[in-house]
A and B are shown apart, each in its own frame.
Chain A
Amino acid sequence: MLLSRLFVFLGMAALLLASPVSAQERGAVRHDFDFSTLGTDTRILVFRPRIKVGEQSTGGMFEPRADWTELARENIGSALDVQRRRYGSSLIDAPEPIGEDARLVDEYLALFSAVSNSIITYQFFRGDRLETKKADNREDVFDWSLGPGVAELPGADQADYALFISTEDHYGSTGRKALQILAAVTVGVGVTSGVHSGYAALIDLKTGNILWINADFQMGGDVREADGAEKRVRQLFEDFPLPVTDGSGEQ
């Protein structure tokens, strides 16, 4: 188990080294969590990923594209199956929620998006990091939570942790690209080319603490294509802190 801890550590180090250009981090692990406790008998509840794909209009408005979303759901689904085989029986599907439970799951997914958004904006973007997240030698502290209410999520009593996944892709339209160029020339600001956000996090089902997260507004891989979706999911699972089950990756 020590090995997996080392793996996480090396992974984090690699991530930090890999991203000095933008001074932005893309992943984090909770400072005080002992990842060596994660093993093959760990039970992780996987909630249905939130997947949205669309076009970004000139005005910056998101216009969903159903065909792309459907493609992405299939592609990401297959890519997730690959990960599932890698991690074996630890990943269990959350029950399909109904009624009040469905509402609760939706609320937590919305909160998860807001927390991920805050983590990217106020922790990962170095220049924008909140000072309280740096003060008193807290530079290496990663302390974000959804709160202990996660224990009420359907299926939570059957598992130790939850895996939340959310992706959203806005592919720029021609008009949008023209605007980016115009904005860069006239005002000198960069208008980002679409959004390609992906969040994946492991959440402690007792405390709600985020133990591990990968989150970025600009992820790689075109989810509309099988290869791209596989790349996206690989990125989402980068440094996933669970030991790979022997041999099951091949099949």
Chain B
Amino acid sequence: MRAFLLIASGLLMVPTVPAAAHKLIDAGETVTVAKSDLTVVPAIDWNRINERPGKEAERWTLDGELLNDVLFFAEVEDGDAIFREVDKRNSPLPRFSGNMLLIDLPDFLNSSMRIAKGHQTFSVDSVAPTTFLGQPGVSVSFSTVGNDDIRRRGRAVATIIDGELFMMTFEAPTIYFFERDLPHFEQLVASARLS
């Protein structure tokens, strides 16, 4: 046992090096996101965070997810949660249902984000029809207070095609970052296509 401990403490002294780096998303190139048929053409360089936030999800950022968080959810099927479960036993995530209406999505997003991101509050500021991926879609403006006590604002654009959910969200601190980066998100949304 003693030898065991010595080996263990030896291990602890070696710094843990992150396994894989995040990927550069080049401006101007067509990129497939969330292992799906969804593509976007960014106008500026972005970073794709290595760790996937969910099975059918992908995370992009400019300065880190605390400061500007873009999430893509594509081909989310009936019965799937959009995020990876955080604590399935005590607070399971809500599941997408193929027969949801577009107008049900703000509540679904509210519940998903509160549980997955640990938001203290989530309020829907407006819900409006939009066109997304050439389909009738919904655009949601929301505000949150995170568990780091930072007030953020967010935008989500979504549509449901053949019972599958396609959604892009953006969230950033109300101070400075939201206003600064919202146009970049809107550009991504405008460039989104199904290939």
Interface set of A (CB-CB < 8 Å, partner B): 21-24, 106-108, 110-111, 113-115, 117-118, 121-122, 125, 127-132, 134-136, 144-149, 180-182, 184-185, 188-190, 193, 208
Contact = CB atoms under 8 A, between A and B. Distances in A.
B130 to A, nearest CB: 28
Interface residues of B, number: 34
B63 A127 contact: no
Contacts of A188: 11
Contacts, number: 96
B126 interface: no
Contacts of A117: 64, 66
B87 interface: no
28 contacts: A21-B15, A22-B15, A24-B15, A108-B175, A110-B148, A111-B176, A114-B66, A114-B148, A118-B66, A122-B64, A127-B18, A129-B21, A130-B62, A130-B63, A130-B64, A131-B24, A131-B45, A132-B46, A147-B175, A148-B176, A149-B176, A181-B8, A182-B8, A184-B12, A185-B7, A188-B11, A190-B14, A190-B15
Given A108-B175, A147-B177, A130 B12 contact: no
A19 to B, nearest CB: 11
Interface of A is mostly: helix
A140 to B, nearest CB: 17
Contact of B24 (A132, A182, A190): A132
A131 B22 contact: yes
A147 B18 contact: no
Nearest to A117: B66
A106 B175 CA distance: 12
B12 A180 contact: yes
